[in-house]
């Protein structure tokens, strides 16, 4: 059995199904490039049949990447497979990933199909996909709740039809590690032709066991792990890439397996995903959380000072969390900025660099030092976003304990300037009321949070909002040294994302 674990990243597909986490094509392209540099073996770039936007994004990613496989997800319908192939056909290494539900409850209530019909459908789908590419993955949706003998039967049929990877998903996060390990071992020993295919696992985190289940499956013989950055995904999320990879790297005595992942790129990519999606990484998140390498207890601090390994089982530098950072300021030139951004993983075109450089100089005039977190924010705002419908031109707020909070706002809406003023219970409420009036939005503000991008009183404030309108949920994010301006940017970003969702509806269909 191979000691190589294939890392299949589905941040751009399953990860995007986190409520409000929809990404535009430019953001997906940037993430895909970073994932390839990270060293993932397969990128599931999207569900091409779900929407025109998804098809476009998968197609552009397929044309851009050169080293890793690019997979398109599809149901076992011929039209879905045609869409998937149409999107990935220009990839250097294309993969079609087709799936159908196999648990009794799904077959009865969702598909209204017999076992025989499901097997026949799976065979036909794999054979048809195989006519386009040699790399075909078949998934048995709700596999962890599927009768194990039927699971082996349909996997054997899929392999016989040409599947090179068979995926066992814990679709609803129901499995327990010991149980899942036993199921994987059973599949490995009772599936006809399993030696001709890779067994993959795709675990959800509904019980907080996604990583544990994935590691248990790898120990039992699975050799592909389907994961997402920061563990984002449907409902409670997916298996976290960083947790699986660092578990394998940190415990080689227990997991004598390898991956192609360059772990020093993990933390910067985690930050990028958080900034693009607006989903904040919880401070106590394993590996990439803000507290992962923080030591407050005196005993811990003393031990770490004497020998870091007393309380750190991995070094911060291993995941790309540098202890020493180059700090840029207002006297730094364009070349220095370009070099530093390249070290951070951003190889910008000339026009992109100029846009970031202009904003960098403006920010450097407001604060003494510009840190990596600030640069990431600038790149996100100036490069990753597609042209917005709503743009903030200026905001002025009057507030205090003796005056009525008032905001004056000027926006550019579809290239046309509009302005107005309004009141509120506080400065942010006044700003949001005015913006809502100018944009005509009827969205509901579900969440508002503020964090500091770095230390110091001159730190940029990072605001994240969650908006809901007509059943659509979007996250918005904004950063600025002025917290009121950051709040306005976040609200407007959320409104632009809502407009993007209206124009590019995401139809997730069934999910593995």
Confidence (pLDDT) at 423: 95
State the pairing for strand pair 42-46/198-203: unpaired
Both tokens of 189, joined, read: 């020993």
Listed residue (423, 389, 381, 384) closest to 406, CA to CA: 423
Q: What is the rounded distance in angstroms from the CA atom of residue 443 to the CA atom of residue 70? A: 36
Listed residue (451, 408, 403, 431) closest to 495, CA to CA: 431
Is 103:145 a contact under the CB 8 Å cutoff? yes
Confidence (pLDDT) at 299: 46
Q: Helix crossing, 266-277 with 25-38: angle to 10°?
A: 170
What is the edge-to-edge ordering of all strands in the sheet holding 390-398? 390-398, 406-413, 416-423
Q: For residue 68, give the CATH number of its domain.
A: 3.20.20.70
Confidence (pLDDT) at 64: 97
**pTM metric for this prediction:** 0.84
Listed residue (204, 100, 84) closest to 510, CA to CA: 100
* Residue recorded with tokens 């200026």: 394
Listed residue (259, 242, 233, 272) closest to 33, CA to CA: 272
Confidence (pLDDT) at 461: 86
Strands (E), 125-267: 136-141, 165-170, 198-203, 224-227
Residue 78 lies in a domain: yes
Residue 374 lies in a domain: no
Range of the domain at 467: 390-503
Length of the chain: 512
Q: What is the rounded distance in angstroms from the CA atom of residue 77 to the CA atom of residue 148? A: 25
Residue 141 lies in a domain: yes
Confidence (pLDDT) at 308: 63
Q: What is the rounded distance in angstroms from the CA atom of residue 245 to the CA atom of residue 7? A: 9
Both tokens of 309, joined, read: 């390994």
Listed residue (134, 106, 100, 141) closest to 120, CA to CA: 100
Confidence (pLDDT) at 385: 64
State the pairing for strand pair 94-101/69-75: parallel
What are the residue ranges of helices labelled H in 191-297? 210-220, 241-250, 266-277
Confidence (pLDDT) at 256: 95
Per-residue pLDDT of the chain (512 residues; tens, 9 = 90+): 679 999 999 999 999 888 767 788 888 998 999 999 999 999 999 999 998 989 999 999 999 999 999 999 999 999 999 999 999 999 999 999 999 999 999 999 999 999 999 999 999 999 999 999 999 999 999 999 999 999 999 999 999 999 999 999 999 999 999 999 999 999 999 999 999 999 999 999 999 999 999 999 999 999 999 999 999 999 999 999 999 999 999 999 999 999 999 999 999 899 889 888 878 888 899 999 878 876 444 544 455 455 666 656 788 889 987 654 455 776 778 888 888 787 776 778 888 888 888 888 888 887 767 777 778 778 877 776 656 899 999 999 999 989 999 999 999 998 899 999 999 999 999 999 999 999 999 999 999 989 887 667 777 888 989 999 998 888 888 888 899 999 999 999 999 989 888 887 665 555 67
Burial of residue 109 (number of CB atoms within 10 Å: 0-12, 13-18, 19+): exposed
Count CA within 13 A, CB hemisphere, residue 201: 35
Pair (29, 177) in one structural domain? yes
Instruction: Write the DSSP string, 62-125.
Output: HHH--SSEEEEEEESSHHHHHHHHHHHTTSSSEEEEEEEE-SHHHIIIII---HHHHHHHHHHH
Residue 464 lies in a domain: yes
Residue 308 lies in a domain: no
Residue where one domain finishes, among candidates 277, 301, 333: 277
Domain count along the chain: 2
Instruction: Pick left, alpha or beta for residue 290 (phi over 0 → left; psi -120 to 50 → alpha; otherwise beta).
Output: alpha
Q: What is the rounded distance in angstroms from the CA atom of residue 269 to the CA atom of residue 255? A: 24
Confidence (pLDDT) at 504: 72
CB-based contacts of 65: which residues, under 8 Å, 6+ apart? Answer: 32, 33, 36, 43, 91, 92
**Count of beta carbons in the 10 Å neighbourhood of residue 203:** 30
Q: 3-state DSSP call for residue 5?
A: coil
Tell me the CA distances in angstroms from 9 to 14, 38, 51, one per residue in order.
Answer: 9, 11, 20
Q: For residue 421, give the CATH number of its domain.
A: 3.30.160.270
Confidence (pLDDT) at 510: 54
What is the edge-to-edge ordering of all strands in the sheet holding 472-480? 444-452, 461-469, 472-480
Pair (134, 272) in one structural domain? yes
Pair (92, 239) in one structural domain? yes
Residue 72 lies in a domain: yes
- Torsion, CA 29, CA 59, CA 89, CA 161, rounded to 10: 90
Confidence (pLDDT) at 507: 54
Pair (203, 72) in one structural domain? yes
Confidence (pLDDT) at 386: 58
Confidence (pLDDT) at 381: 73
Is 70:91 a contact under the CB 8 Å cutoff? yes
Residue 449 lies in a domain: yes
Residue 345 lies in a domain: no
Residue where one domain finishes, among candidates 236, 256, 277: 277
Residue where one domain finishes, among candidates 277, 308, 335: 277
Pair (394, 272) in one structural domain? no
Pair (266, 415) in one structural domain? no
């Amino acid at each position: 059995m191979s000691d190589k674990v294939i890392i299949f990243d589905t941040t751009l597909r399953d990860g995007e199904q986190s409520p409000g986490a929809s990404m535009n094509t430019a953001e997906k392209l940037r993430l895909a490039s970073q994932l390839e540099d990270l060293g993932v073996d397969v990128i599931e770039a999207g569900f091409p049949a779900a929407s025109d936007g998804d098809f476009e994004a998968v197609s552009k990613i397929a044309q851009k990447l050169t080293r890793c496989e690019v997979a398109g997800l599809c149901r076992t319908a011929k039209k879905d497979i045609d869409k998937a192939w149409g999107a990935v056909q220009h990839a250097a290494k294309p993969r079609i990933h087709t799936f159908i539900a196999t648990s009794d409850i799904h077959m009865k209530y969702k598909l209204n199909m017999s076992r025989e019909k499901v097997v026949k459908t799976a065979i036909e789908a794999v054979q048809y996909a195989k006519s386009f590419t040699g790399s075909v993955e078949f998934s048995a949706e709700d596999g962890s709740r599927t009768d194990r003998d039927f699971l082996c039967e349909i996997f054997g049929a899929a392999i016989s039809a040409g599947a090179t990877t068979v995926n066992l998903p814990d679709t609803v996060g129901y499995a327990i590690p010991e149980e899942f390990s036993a199921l994987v071992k059973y599949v490995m020993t009772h599936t006809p032709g399993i030696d001709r295919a890779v067994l993959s696992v795709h675990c959800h985190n509904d019980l907080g066991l996604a990583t544990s289940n994935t590691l248990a499956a790898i120990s039992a013989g699975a050799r592909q792990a389907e994961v997402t950055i920061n563990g984002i995904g449907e409902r409670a999320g997916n298996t976290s890439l960083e947790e699986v990879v660092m578990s394998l790297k940190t415990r080689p005595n227990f997991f004598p397996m390898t991956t192609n992942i360059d772990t020093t790129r993990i933390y910067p990519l985690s930050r990028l995903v958080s900034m693009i999606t607006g989903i904040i990484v919880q401070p106590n998140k394993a590996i990439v959380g803000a507290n992962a390498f923080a030591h407050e207890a005196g005993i811990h601090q003393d031990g770490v000072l004497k020998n870091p390994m007393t309380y750190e089982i991995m070094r911060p530098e291993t995941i790309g969390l540098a202890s020493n950072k180059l700090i840029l300021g207002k006297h730094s030139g364009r070349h220095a900025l370009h070099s530093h951004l390249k070290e951070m993983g951003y190889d910008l075109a000339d026009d992109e660099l100029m846009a970031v450089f202009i904003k960098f100089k403006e920010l450097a005039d407001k604060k003494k030092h510009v840190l990596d977190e600030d640069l990431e924010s600038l790149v996100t705002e100036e490069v990753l976003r597609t042209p917005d419908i709503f743009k903030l031109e200026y905001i002025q707020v009057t507030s205090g304990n003796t005056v009525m909070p008032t905001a004056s706002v000027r926006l550019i809406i579809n290239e046309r300037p509009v302005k107005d003023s309004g009141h509120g219970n506080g400065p942010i409420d006044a700003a949001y009321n005015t913006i809502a009036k100018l944009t005509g939005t009827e969205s509901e503000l579900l969440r508002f949070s503020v964090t500091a991008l770095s230390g110091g009183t001159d730190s940029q404030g990072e605001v994240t909002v969650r908006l809901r309108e007509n059943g659509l949920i979007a996250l918005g994010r904004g950063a600025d040294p002025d917290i009121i301006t950051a709040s306005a940017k976040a609200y407007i970003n959320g409104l632009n994302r809502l407009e993007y969702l209206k124009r590019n509806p995401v139809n997730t269909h069934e999910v593995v």
